[in-house]
Amino acid sequence: MPSDPTLGVLLLSGSHDRAHYAFVVASGAAALGRTVVLFATNKGCLALCQDWSGLSDAGRDAAIQARGVAGLDTLREASLEMDVRMIACEAGLRAEALDTSLLLPQVEVAGIATFLSAVGAGQFITI
């Protein structure tokens, strides 16, 4: 049986709901055995920072956890444990004046060509 194609997740937004769902998709696909590459650009790069409280509506995380939904930290940890490749866009970091030292240590800094090459003929979604 052929393996499933790589899934690329492109995160453009710096809102909590979109960042949260990007990690829901990434961790869900990885749990099913898919190879996943998450590429964040512009304000979406905030979701790859050690402290993601700069996301708009970051307080939403506590509310969804209180309702029994996994929070962003849990989803990010699960994604890392399942080898989701995380890339922060170099140009996006510059555009938002974010220093690479703010990123999780596992996050690569690269451009769109790296993301597209990693996904290859696979699928990608934009969130």
- The predicted-structure confidence for 8-37, as pLDDT tens digits, reads as follows 999 999 999 999 999 999 999 999 999 999
**Residue 91's CATH number:** 3.40.1260.10
Q: 72-81 vs 16-31: helix axis angle to the nearest 10?
A: 30
Evaluate whether residue 2 is within a structural domain. Answer: no
Which amino acid is present at 83?
Answer: D
Distances (CA, A) of 109 to 15, 45, 65, 87: 21, 10, 30, 6
- The predicted-structure confidence for 31-55, as pLDDT tens digits, reads as follows 999 999 999 999 999 999 999 999 9
- In this predicted structure, what is the pLDDT of residue 2? 43
Total domain count, the chain: 1
Evaluate whether residue 41 is within a structural domain. Answer: yes
Q: Which domain does 44 fall in, by range?
A: 7-126
